[in-house]
Structure formats: structure tokens, C-alpha cells
Amino acid sequence: MTTTYPTPKAIAAPSLPLIRQVVPVQFTYDVHFTTGLFELNNPLLAQVIAADGEVGPKRMIVVVDSGVLQCHDKLLEQVAAYANYHHDILTLSTDAIAVPGGEIAKNQPEWVDQLHQVINTAGICRHSYVMAIGGGALLDMVGYAAATAHRGVRLIRVPTTVLSQDDSAVGVKNGINAFGKKNFLGTFAPPYAVLNDFSFLTTLDDRDWRSGMAEAVKVALIKDAEFYRLIETHAHALANRDMAAMQQLIYRCAQLHLDHIAYNGDPFEMGSARPLDFGHWAAHKLEHLTGYNLRHGEAVAIGIALDSTYAYLSGLLSQSEWQRILKTLQMLGFTLYVKELGDYLDQPRHPQSIFKGLTEFQEHLGGELSVTLLSEIGKGVEVHQVNLSLYQQAILIMQEMFESVN
């Protein structure tokens, strides 16, 4: 016997209202300034950890830039002694991990894998801490590892260079390089705290001392004409390693970066514009083209000079202000031309052309091309189209200027 069933009637889809999820999230972290962070009579680090209000001691692993250890050979002993002295607040879960500094830390993904393994075996949880001590590249890499372990382990940044203290360490970004592109892999993850120890700056070589000043020039040019005049006025002192002048530069630069992140409506860069990357589209490409022989700040200085020259040629920026900018960068000790800048100018799609950096910059941000230029010192403007022939002319002008003084 065959059983038959009635044909089901079509059921009209119900008209259900849209659900729109809104998740308000507030991030709070402190940026401290000190000297002698790991001296036993300096309570700052212990106070920062104790401030979480949780029952201690807290587990911590320490990752150190090996270049820092070469200049501060007692550092690991100091960190261990500090942890022992404050044993009721923090405990080191394993020996400190030394990682090469500079872009090598971001170009070799095995360092992230190693840190994930250490975080796992050391029992580091989301209420534990990873403390990174080093320059911006190391902090980027360690921050990426910390942000992707347990979906986020508390990160304490201890930046040791001018560039990391005044710029990269105070922000919310972490990342590593991949596929020949700067920061292709990364996260937006605010640190638990940033501890700027000025004593680390005393052992920097001249290149690293100088390099970080490019980020201060950058943010001053797009946001604060008075800060720019301060840099311009004290350029000679800054170039000659005046510590008081440098501390003021670092503080104001960090403050301007933090203000932009918090109050300019796009802290996690959901849009296409990124004013704090003034001069960076060329800088990122130059770093890659030079095999990262250029420091990041050195490349940024060239990028600032290039975009300022372009702004002048396109009628946005006055000649006098353009000349002031280049003069200040030169007074600070920056070289404003490298041969890679002029390679393949007539082949903008060539992978070794600086203009390929424009495509990669747009691809990294998404959306339309957005390049920050200057209309005057202290005021940045966004443009969405560029004239490559004017950029070629700007590069040739910079080459002529470089050759005339060498």
C-alpha cells in the first residue's frame, strides 16, 4: 500500500525587522614617562600592574630586542631583580626571550610562532602580561603575537628608541610584514600600558636618535604649526643630542598622536584617509626597495620631502614653506635622496618603481586613494588623485639638490 502526502503549501516568509548591533567599547591606557624603569627604587612598573586591582602576583613573560641587550648588558639581571623585589605583584614565568631588532623581527614569521608557543607553555592567560622591550619593529611583532594569543593578552610596551617612544609604541597597531608588503598582517589592539624610559635613549647611535624625529616633524606639519616652529628652532640642539629638547619633542609628538587616535573619529582606520601616514606611502616602499637598510624614520623623512615638494609644484604649498621644511629636515641630519627613489620613474607599474607604493598604499587602506599633502605648515589636506609627472619632477628636483651638496 502506498501512502500519499498532501503537497505542502508555500509559506510566506515572515517580515522580520532588522537587527542592528551596536557595541560601545572604550579603551583606556596610560603612557608614562620615566628614567631608570627597572631600578628597584622606581615603583612605576609595579604600580602599573597592581593598578589592575586583581589579586597578584601576575604572570609575565619578557621579550627583549637583542640590540638593546648589546648596549644594556645588565638589563636582564635588572628585570629579574625587579621582579624578585616585587614578587607579591609579578612573577616571571620563563627566562626573557631575546629577538633581533629592526625589520628582521617583522620579516620572519617564526618569531610570532615562537612567542605563541612560549605564551602557551608558560601558562600566560588574558590576565597575564607580555612585556616587550625594544624598538618599534620588535614592539609591532610582539604586539601582534600578544593580540592573537587567547584573542588578546595584556601587552606592556617599553619602547627604547625615539621613534617608538614618540610614535609607534603609543598607538593601537601591531603587525608584521608579509608578501613583500609592510604590515600586511596585523591587528588593532591597544596596549595595557606604555612605559617610556628616557635612559634607553642615551645609548642610541646617531641614526636611531635622528630617525624618530621624522615622525615628530610629520605630525607637526599636519597638525601643529607651533610645534613645528619649536622643532625648527631647536633643530641644531636636537641633532646634537640635547636630551631636554628630545624629551619635549617625544612628549608633544606622543600627545598629538594620541589625540588624533582618540578624537578624530577613525581610531581603527575603517576609512580610506590616514593623515598620520603623511609621507608614508613612499616611505614604506623605500624601506622595501632598500632591503630595509633605510631606517623607518629615514624613509619617512624622504617621503615628507617628496610629498612637500609635490605639494609645492602642484600649487598647494608656498615656496617659502616648502624650503623651510627641507631645510629643517636637513638641519636634523636627514639625507633626502636615495637612488632607489629615482629608479624606473617612467615605469610606474614596475615592482621596483616608487610609484608602485601608491598602489600598495591604496590597497592597504582600501577604498579610494587618499594621500595627505600640505596646504601650509600645520595643515594637512587629503587628495584622491595625483599627477605622476609632477611626482617625477619632484624626484628629479630632490636628486639635483642631493647631488649639488655631495
The pLDDT value given to residue 140: 96
Asked if 256 contacts 227 with a C-beta cutoff of 8 angstroms, the reply is yes
The whole-angstrom separation of Cα 112 and Cα 99 is: 10
The pLDDT value given to residue 278: 94
The pLDDT value given to residue 37: 98
Burial-class residue 77 by CB neighbours within 10 Å (0-12, 13-18, 19+): exposed
The pLDDT value given to residue 70: 95
Q: What are the phi and psi torsion angles at 375 (to 5°)? A: -100, -25
- Alpha-carbon 378 to chain mean position: 21
Among residues of the chain, what percentage have pLDDT more than 90?
83
Asked if 155 contacts 130 with a C-beta cutoff of 8 angstroms, the reply is yes
Superfamily for the 207-404 domain: Dehydroquinate synthase-like - alpha domain (1.20.1090.10)
Residue 60: beta bridge partners?
Answer: 92, 129
Peptide bond into 57 cis (omega under 30): yes
**C-alpha cell at position 162:** 625615539
Tens-place pLDDT, residues 152-168: 999 999 999 999 999 99
The CA-atom distances, in angstroms, between 246 and each of 49, 141, 240, 294, 324 are 28, 26, 10, 22, 20
Three-state DSSP at 133 gives strand
Q: How wide is the angle at C-alpha 399 spanned by C-alphas 205 and 231, nearest 5°? A: 45
Tens-place pLDDT, residues 57-107: 999 999 999 999 999 999 999 999 999 999 999 999 999 999 999 889 999
The pLDDT value given to residue 8: 63
- Least confident residue range of 25-29, 134-138, 329-333, 342-346: 25-29
The pLDDT value given to residue 5: 62
Q: Is the model's pLDDT at 45 over the cut of 70?
A: yes
Give the pLDDT mean for 250-274: 85
What is the residue-averaged pLDDT of the chain?
93
Give the pLDDT mean for 144-153: 97
| Confidence label for 174 from pLDDT (cuts 50, 70 and 90) | very high
Query: Would you tell me which CATH number, out of the four given (3.60.150.10, 3.40.50.1970, 3.30.930.10, 3.40.50.300), belongs to the domain 30-203?
Result: 3.40.50.1970
Tens-place pLDDT, residues 191-227: 999 999 999 999 999 999 999 999 999 999 999 999 9
The pLDDT value given to residue 272: 59
Q: Where are the domains of the chain?
A: 30-203, 207-404
Residue 317: beta bridge partners?
Answer: none
What is the reported pTM? 0.91
Amino acid at 44: L
- Alpha-carbon 69 to chain mean position: 22
